[in-house]
Structure 1
Amino acid sequence: MTDTLSSPRPEASNSPADSGQPLLEIRGLEKRFSLSGDFLEQLKFKGGKLVREQEHVHAINGVDLEIQRGEALCVVGESGCGKSTVARTVMGLLHPSAGEIRYAGERIDDLTTQALMPYRRRMQMIFQNPYASLNPRMTIQQTLEEPIRLHHPDWSRQRVRDQVDEVMESVGIAADWGKRYGHEFSGGQRQRIAIARALAVDPEFIVADEPISALDVSIQAQVLNLLMDARRDRNLTYLFITHDLAVVEHFGTRVAVMYLGRVCEVAPTATLFATPRHPYTQALMSAIPRLEDERPQHIRLEGEVPTPVHLPSGCVFHARCPHANARCREEVPRLIARDDGSQVACHGVEEGRID
């Protein structure tokens, strides 16, 4: 099999690429999940009075991000920081509790299902688990034809088949795979099929939610190279969710670091790995195994990660940060742009207390 893509993707129409406008803009994005059940379950007697109590998991808390056309923005952070929730909210699988999502300048988070249909073709998603993302009742041919028929109901049967053949060839899928079912393939083969399904409708933006974490290490590089080739040959833009910093260094053009539902730092990949600014980012970078004499000293964080049910005041990282002061405990830091192209949400960096 080959990991190269043979057919370039046609340029999208009504594209504002020349204007410098971001392809995707996220502003003040929040997502809360209720833990209190329905209305009747929220009613409780306290002090002789009937009161309504509501409790939420605050998965995303005011995320601001921009993704330019043609780039691969990697979102990293520990488990439970809200990475996958951002991905699913961007794709409309979850409805945001607050904030806005704009695609090519148009707001999409408040659109109806019917109004979202044109964006469904332009925005596709690759899921983490290739064993769960394919319908076991459908052959591979049916799996790949379904999105094409949905978005192009006027296409002839032969044109649909030609499109399926092209996309199968582009991801290294053999022609005889089409008659078989998903359970007959390995994890790496299934993920190739999932990538082919995402590419079948010629999208311009792909959200990849940890697409290689469920695969054997021996085939992770193959799938990652396939995604990189697709970006180059089809002019794709990626929002890539991962926890693997080695993947980030190899794949991403920019990196956004998240902690407890907030973005701590955004920077070009080379800048982030060379000079991380936020104390949490510095701790992450120090944990990367390196065969170097001059490797940075490992930073061991003290304390526990706060619960997303009861968020701490001020900076969400202050309880584990060795540089925290009174302002950090009271005031939420904003992302502030720096001369090197990075953005950092840290009072210590803003005040010059942290190099």
Structure 2
Amino acid sequence: MIPSEITQPTDQATTSPRHDPSTLLSIRGLRKRFNLSGNWLEQLHFSKGRLTRRQEYVHAINGVDLDVARGEALCVVGESGCGKSTVARTVMGLISPSEGEIHFDGTRIDQLSAHALLPWRRRMQMIFQNPYASLNPRMTINRILEEPITFHNPSLNRGDVQDKVQEVMSSVGIDPEWGGRFAHEFSGGQRQRISIARALAVDPEFIVADEPISALDVSIQAQVLNLMRDAQQARGLTYLFITHDLAVVEHFATRVAVMYLGTLCELAPRDTLFSTPRHPYTQALLSAIPRLSDGHPTPIRLTGEVPTPVNLPSGCVFHGRCPYANARCREDIPALKTYGDARVACHALEEGRL
């Protein structure tokens, strides 16, 4: 039986009794399913002369537990369709979770209504993937940046708002004199700088960046990454950074979370992950990074078909492509367990077969 899709939002925020002050964001048992079956009538089908109801779901996130510490840059990596962007959008309240809890600074926020969530919006901002689509083409850059400032600070007069706009534009390397221009008059890298300025305009503590440089030229990506790192140091920001580019992870992350088919496979500090990857999927990912020097292992070639998130495999979701899988891997879902300073969900590692 499929549980109900979402719970109704509430205006009441609840505080976690065991909140760790060093943890800014905490995710517990997060699941998200997207209904493919349509409305009730579309779910009815005739099968062998009988009327039956059939429901199908995309299981985008499957029981993710994750903590983000204050001041860190936690990168979530994985191949396309693994659910990393869905995690980002669920954290920001753009998508309602099917199950699980999201706590920000010790307060549960996933059940809050849109009105009750407003005070938290100022503390949490998002940078989207495509700078060509995330900026309103009918608004000047000044208006784009003024809008969140005036919304979250209605007591500010117009002079203070304009001063703030000029300050954030300068901080991201955009000339404040260009504020009267429209988004189409800027390059991709400049547009993404403006998107970063919009996120910084309300002085947030936490920023979710959903593949913010994937649509940019390689020559511009390093500039935007350095800008985000400088902003982190200057403002004490915490990042949840979604990417599929391991070179970006190696440059930007403090910790790395590896996802596969909506499941968290491995969580480790950046240096630990790149020096001693433990999960077979992580090992395959890192072996595929192009290297100019000799002495690196041959890339691991995964066999088998990539499972569909509509019909999830039993047991470990990676067992169909894992060279170390056995009967237990095909039957039991592995739990995240601690190995040194890393956490890994793998039966083969637990049993010493890896």
**Matching residue of 2:36:** 35
**Matching residue of 1:59:** 60
Q: Is the partner of 1:320 in helix, strand or coil?
A: coil
Residue type of the alignment partner of 1:311: L
**Matching residue of 2:4:** none
**Matching residue of 1:242:** 243
**Matching residue of 1:278:** 279
Any conservation in 1 of the 2:20–2:106 contact (CA below 8 Å)? no
**Matching residue of 2:348:** 348
Q: Distance in 2 between matches of 1:108 and 1:281?
A: 31
Instruction: Please say if 1:99 is aligned against 2:127.
Output: no
Matches within 5 A, 1:262-301: 262-301=263-302
**Matching residue of 1:178:** 179
Residue type of the alignment partner of 1:346: C
Percent of aligned pairs with the same residue? 73
**Structure 2-normalised TM-score?**
0.94
**Matching residue of 1:226:** 227
Matches within 5 A, 1:1-355: 20-340=21-341, 342-354=342-354
Q: Is the partner of 2:320 in helix, strand or coil?
A: helix
Residue type of the alignment partner of 1:348: A
Q: Is the partner of 1:113 in helix, strand or coil?
A: coil
Q: Which runs of 4+ in 1 moved over 4 A?
A: none
Instruction: Please state how far the C-alpha of 1:19 moved relative to its aligned partner.
Output: 5.1
Instruction: Please state how far the C-alpha of 1:339 moved relative to its aligned partner.
Output: 1.7
Q: Distance in 2 between matches of 1:352 and 1:303?
A: 23
Superimposed CA distance per residue, residues 167-217 of structure 1 (whole angstroms, 9 cap, x where no aligned partner): 111111102211000011100000000000000000000000000000011
Q: Distance in 1 between matches of 2:41 and 2:92?
A: 32
Any conservation in 2 of the 1:95–1:109 contact (CA below 8 Å)? yes
Residue type of the alignment partner of 1:343: R
Q: Is the partner of 1:114 in helix, strand or coil?
A: coil
Q: Is the partner of 1:54 in helix, strand or coil?
A: coil
Residue type of the alignment partner of 2:51: L
Structure 2 runs not aligned, ≥5 long: 1-18
Q: Distance in 1 between matches of 2:184 and 2:67?
A: 38
Superimposed CA distance per residue, residues 286-336 of structure 1 (whole angstroms, 9 cap, x where no aligned partner): 001112222122100001110000000000000000000000000000010
**Structure 1-normalised TM-score?**
0.93
Q: How many residues align?
A: 338
Residue type of the alignment partner of 1:79: S
Any conservation in 1 of the 2:261–2:309 contact (CA below 8 Å)? yes
Residue type of the alignment partner of 1:146: E
Q: Distance in 2 between matches of 1:45 and 1:154?
A: 61
Any conservation in 2 of the 1:21–1:105 contact (CA below 8 Å)? no
Q: Distance in 2 between matches of 1:296 and 1:105?
A: 43
Residue type of the alignment partner of 2:147: E
Any conservation in 2 of the 1:139–1:180 contact (CA below 8 Å)? yes
Q: Distance in 2 between matches of 1:78 and 1:175?
A: 38
Any conservation in 1 of the 2:82–2:260 contact (CA below 8 Å)? yes
Q: Distance in 2 between matches of 1:296 and 1:97?
A: 41
Q: Distance in 1 between matches of 2:298 and 2:279?
A: 16
Inter-CA distance 75–43: structure 2 relative to 1 (3 Å threshold): same
Structure 1 runs not aligned, ≥5 long: 1-17
Any conservation in 1 of the 2:315–2:328 contact (CA below 8 Å)? yes
Q: Distance in 1 between matches of 2:267 and 2:74?
A: 9
Residue type of the alignment partner of 1:113: A
Q: Distance in 2 between matches of 1:271 and 1:19?
A: 24
Q: Is the partner of 1:315 in helix, strand or coil?
A: coil
Instruction: Please state how far the C-alpha of 1:48 moved relative to its aligned partner.
Output: 3.5
Instruction: Please state how far the C-alpha of 1:50 moved relative to its aligned partner.
Output: 2.5
Which stretch shifts more, 19-28 or 235-244? 19-28
Q: Distance in 2 between matches of 1:24 and 1:332?
A: 25
Q: Distance in 2 between matches of 1:21 and 1:48?
A: 60
Q: Distance in 1 between matches of 2:51 and 2:94?
A: 35
Superimposed CA distance per residue, residues 95-150 of structure 1 (whole angstroms, 9 cap, x where no aligned partner): 00111100011110000011100110000000000000000110000000000111
Residue type of the alignment partner of 1:53: R
